[in-house]
């Protein structure tokens, strides 16, 4: 059942309303942008919620003759903010929303999701297709830099994707931010998506995450301004794809969705990636090359200034470097996707006592299979990765120092 409960705001073009939708397991509030149109956009929020950028794009889409329904299922289910909540949203609830909005084929449905919000979108589309095998009410899905991981993988390991990644058969259009942390895992994800679905991919140069407030680049602002028109233009492309009416069979494997994948201490390395050569410029434009890591202990820290845990561990990394003086030890950091100017400005406020290398497109981080930030590798004198950590830790504790010294 759908009922209008209140008028939220109005613009010079249309009213924005709030609707209450009663589902089998929850009562959901939806923000509805624009008047009734043949196409209804069902936008499932990521478990981090929505902000003014999501609102602006919804308004712009409404101006392109679409009615946009933004729904925060994680909030409706009283789930905490974070990636695990997106994985916990039952696909059948999204399927129920599709049925509500389609109204027995009266409206065509375009699904939208970003980051971890892509998981309930694909699960919902799959559940809907299982229930309605003879209907094509769904046009397809538009996903922004989708995170389809079952969990954050152990450092240096390949990610595992939710089952629906390889079972999805509706057409998918991906807008991938070039500087997003998942950029270099896109090929692995596409390989699974394309098992049953037609997938279109568009890389957005210069952007980290178009819905992230701190991504204030000129490129991101331009993308946001043009996005509604782009989506309107790709709808015919998606509509032309006659996807199978029958849902594909889900793979037979157990998902490790209950595994957080983030570390709280330095732990023995179990990943598959071996030490990769690094050839980058430092923050002052000086080239630095690393290839042979033998003979000493090397700590390589991947980070970004927009990552609070990365910033929090910098003081302890400074102290670690100080405590390791006199030994054959080197500590370097690789900044992900930021300019030298941004980093120098940051370093005027935060003291950094170790070399900072610039990975402008994230290629080096991709070579090391970095998924989370910070990610830090510890390489022993034998040239092999001995320890790793996916998260921020205190690097100057007695426990960490003892483990590093034991490598010599």
Specify which residues 289 forms β-bridges with: 279
Does 259 fall in a domain?
A: no
pLDDT of residue 151: 86
Does 292 fall in a domain?
A: yes
pLDDT tens digits, one per residue of 17-42: 999 999 998 899 999 999 999 999 99
- Domain boundary residue among 219, 239, 259? 239
- Supply the range of the domain harboring residue 11: 2-239
Q: What six digits make up the tokens of 45?
A: 């929020």
Query: What's the pTM?
Result: 0.89
Q: Are residues 347 and 235 in the same domain?
A: no
pLDDT tens digits, one per residue of 208-263: 999 988 888 899 999 999 999 999 999 999 999 999 888 888 888 766 654 555 67
Does 249 fall in a domain?
A: no
pLDDT of residue 15: 73
pLDDT tens digits, one per residue of 86-144: 999 999 999 999 999 999 999 999 999 999 999 999 999 999 999 988 889 999 999 99
Query: In 338-408, which residue ranges form alpha helices assigned H by DSSP?
Result: 340-347, 363-367, 398-405
CATH number for position 178: 3.40.50.1820
Q: Which residue has the higher pLDDT, 247 or 358?
A: 358
Q: Are residues 185 and 226 in the same domain?
A: yes
Confidence class for position 2, pLDDT limits 50, 70, 90: very low
CATH number for position 338: 3.40.30.10
Q: Are residues 197 and 74 in the same domain?
A: yes
Does 255 fall in a domain?
A: no
pLDDT tens digits, one per residue of 242-257: 998 888 888 887 666 5
Strand 27-33 to strand 67-71: parallel, antiparallel, or no bridges (unpaired)? antiparallel
Buried b (16+ CB within 10 A) or exposed e, 40-71: bbbbbbbbbebeebbbebbbbbbbbebbbbbb
| Number of neighbours of residue 263 by Cβ within 10 angstroms | 20
Total domains in the chain come to 2
């Amino acid at each position: 059942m759908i009922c209008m409960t209140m008028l939220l705001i109005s613009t010079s073009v249309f009213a924005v309303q709030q609707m209450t939708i009663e589902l089998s397991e929850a009562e959901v509030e939806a923000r509805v942008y624009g008047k009734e149109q043949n196409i209804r956009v069902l936008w499932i929020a990521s478990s981090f919620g929505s902000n003014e950028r999501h609102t602006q794009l919804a308004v712009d889409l409404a101006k392109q003759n679409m009615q946009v329904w933004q729904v925060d299922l994680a909030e409706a289910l009283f789930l905490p903010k974070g990636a695990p909540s997106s994985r916990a949203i039952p696909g059948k609830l999204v399927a129920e929303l599709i049925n509500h909005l389609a109204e027995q084929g009266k409206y065509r449905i375009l699904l939208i999701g970003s980051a971890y919000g892509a998981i309930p979108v694909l699960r919902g589309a799959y559940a809907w297709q299982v229930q309605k095998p003879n209907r094509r009410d769904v046009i397809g899905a538009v996903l922004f830099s989708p995170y389809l991981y079952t969990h954050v993988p152990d450092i240096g390991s390949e990610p595992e994707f939710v089952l629906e990644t390889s079972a999805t058969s509706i057409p998918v259009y991906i807008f991938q931010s070039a500087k997003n942390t998942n950029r270099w895992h896109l090929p692995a994800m596409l390989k699974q998506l394309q098992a049953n679905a037609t997938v279109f991919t568009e890389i957005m140069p210069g952007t980290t995450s178009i819905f992230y407030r701190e991504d204030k680049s000129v490129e991101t602002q331009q993308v946001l301004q043009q996005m509604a028109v782009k989506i309107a233009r790709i709808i015919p492309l998606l509509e032309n794809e006659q996807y199978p009416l029958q849902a594909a069979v889900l793979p037979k494997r157990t998902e490790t969705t209950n595994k957080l994948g983030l570390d709280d201490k330095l732990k023995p390395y179990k990943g598959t990636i071996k030490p990769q050569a690094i050839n980058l410029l430092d923050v002052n434009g000086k080239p630095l090359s690393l290839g042979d890591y033998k003979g000493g202990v090397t700590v390589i820290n991947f980070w970004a200034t927009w990552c609070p845990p990365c910033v929090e561990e910098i003081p302890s990394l400074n102290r670690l470097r100080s405590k390791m003086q006199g030994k054959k030890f080197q500590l370097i950091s690789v900044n992900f996707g930021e300019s030298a100017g941004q980093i120098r400005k940051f370093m005027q406020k935060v003291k950094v006592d170790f070399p900072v290398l610039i990975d402008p497109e994230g290629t080096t981080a991709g070579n090391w299979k970095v998924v989370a930030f910070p990610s830090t590798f510890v390489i022993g004198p034998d040239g092999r990765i001995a320890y790793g950590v996916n998260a921020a830790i205190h690097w100057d504790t007695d426990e960490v120092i003892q483990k590093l010294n034991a490598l010599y």
